[in-house]
Amino acid sequence: MEGDADVVRFAFDGRALAARRGQSIAGALWGHGIVAWRTTRGGGRPRGAFCGMGVCFDCLVVVNGVPGQRACLVRVSEGDAVTSQEGHGHGALGS
């Protein structure tokens, strides 16, 4: 990556990663070869970005403890803790 001013550092599932400032979480994960970061609630099938514009909700992640964040829309920030999400991220709420 370019100079340090253009780089932000974050963690994904405990793994230290870097991204370009202003990059979406989905783009940053793709840049590291990570294409799936959510599992479906009905069968545990892997999901990642599908539509890339915030319509489909396939790219949900947990960002700094907040579930249901669309990785294609949220820009990665310095120090973010991003984790994979199971289902819709609201376990006790059911389907």
- Domain boundaries along the sequence of the chain: 4-88
**pLDDT tens for residues 21-43?**
999 999 999 999 999 998 888 88
How far apart are the C-alpha atoms of 27 and 84, rounded to whole Å? 15
**Confidence at 89, pLDDT banded by 50, 70, 90:** low
**pLDDT tens for residues 66-81?**
999 999 999 999 999 9
Rg (CA), the chain: 13
Q: Does domain 4-88 have CATH number 2.60.40.10?
A: no
71: which residues sit within 8 A by CB, 6+ positions away? 24, 25, 26, 29, 37, 48, 49, 59, 60, 61, 82
Q: Compute the mean pLDDT over every residue in the chain, rounded to the nearest whole number.
A: 88
pTM: 0.84
Half-sphere exposure of 23 toward its Cβ, with a 13 Å CA cutoff?
21
Per-residue pLDDT at 41? 80
Output 57 or 61, whichever has higher pLDDT.
61
